[in-house]
Amino acid sequence: MKATINNFQIDLSKPIDISISLSNTDANPIAWYLEKPEIEPVKFGDWVGKVSEGSSTNFNNILFNPHGHGTHTECLGHITKEFYSINQCLKQFFFTAELISITPEKINNDGVISKVQIQEALNGKTPEAIVIRTLPNSEIKKHTNYSKTNPPYLEAGAATFIREIGIQHLLIDLPSVDREEDEGKLLAHKAFWNVKDVINLNDDARMHCTITEMIYVDDSILDGNYILNLQITSFENDASPSKPILFKVSEF
C-alpha cells in the first residue's frame, strides 16, 4: 500500500521502526537512576490476572517512567512550571525527516554534538524533523543503563541552529539532549523550544515542537531523507512513550 505525503511517495507496507521496546527485564534501557519497569498481573485475594495461573485473561499493571525507560517524545511541558501535555501539543504525525550520523566531539571529557557538525550533515536541508544517530553505533544502545555514565549530548548552539532553520521535531539516540548532570540548566532543551523563562512562558516558545530521546537507528538504515510517522500514547503528561517510524521516499 502506497501513500503520497508532501510530494513524496512512501510504501506503507515497509515501515522502519526506530523505537526501543519496553520490558520488565534487565535488557530494558534505563536512565536517570531508575530501576527497570514493572509489569505484574493484578491480584485480588487469591485471584491473579494471569491465564497460566487460572484467570480467563492476562491483566497486567505496568509501572514505568517515560523519560527513563525507553523511547519517548516530550513537549516543552517537560521544563515549564505551567502544565503542558504532549497529547495537546502534538497534533500532526507525519513529517519530512533527515537522518544524519554524527560522531560526538570530545570536549573536556564530554561527548558533544556541535552546531558545525549538524550544519555540515544537513548540508543546507531544512526538513521538518531531524533524526540524529550517534557513532559508534551498536545494538547495545537498546539495553544500556545510562545512569552515572555522562552520555554525549547536544551543544546548546546546535539546538539553537536546529530551531533557527525551522526544524520542529528533534529525535536522538541518547537519553537526553542535555548533559546528564548540568545543574538543571537544560540549555539544549530551552534553546530548541525557545523557552526563555520556565515560570512565565514567553509568547514565542515553540508549543508544537517535540524532542524524542532514546531511539535506536540500525546501521542498515542509510542517512538521507525519509517521512517520519511520530506515534505517541494519548497521555495527558509532558511526555509519552512513543514509536517513531521512518518510511523511505521516492519523488514523482
In a domain, 32, yes or no: no
pLDDT given for residue 104 in this prediction: 98
In a domain, 34, yes or no: no
Task: State which residues of the chain have pLDDT below 70.
Answer: 251-252
Q: Which residues contact 91 (CB under 8 A, 6 or more apart)?
A: 208
pLDDT given for residue 251 in this prediction: 62
pLDDT given for residue 145 in this prediction: 98
Locate 237 and state its grid cell.
Answer: 503528561
In a domain, 191, yes or no: yes
Locate 127 and state its grid cell.
Answer: 526538513
pLDDT given for residue 5 in this prediction: 76
pLDDT tens, position by position, 34-60: 999 999 999 999 999 999 999 999 999
Residue 43 CA to residue 88 CA, distance in Å, equals 34
Phi–psi pair at 187, nearest 5 degrees? -65, -40
In a domain, 45, yes or no: no
In a domain, 218, yes or no: yes
pTM: 0.96
pLDDT tens, position by position, 10-41: 999 999 999 999 999 999 999 999 999 999 99
Residue 186 Cα to chain centre, angstroms? 16
Q: How many domains does the chain have?
A: 1
CATH number of the domain bearing residue 117: 3.50.30.50
Could you count the other beta carbons within 10 Å of the beta carbon of residue 157? 15
First to last CA, the chain: 16
Query: Which domain range does residue 232 map to?
Result: 2-21+67-251
What length is written for the chain?
A: 252
In a domain, 189, yes or no: yes
pLDDT given for residue 11 in this prediction: 92
In a domain, 60, yes or no: no
Would strands 239-251 and 72-74 be described as parallel, antiparallel, or unpaired? antiparallel
Q: Which residues contact 4 (CB under 8 A, 6 or more apart)?
A: 10
In a domain, 207, yes or no: yes
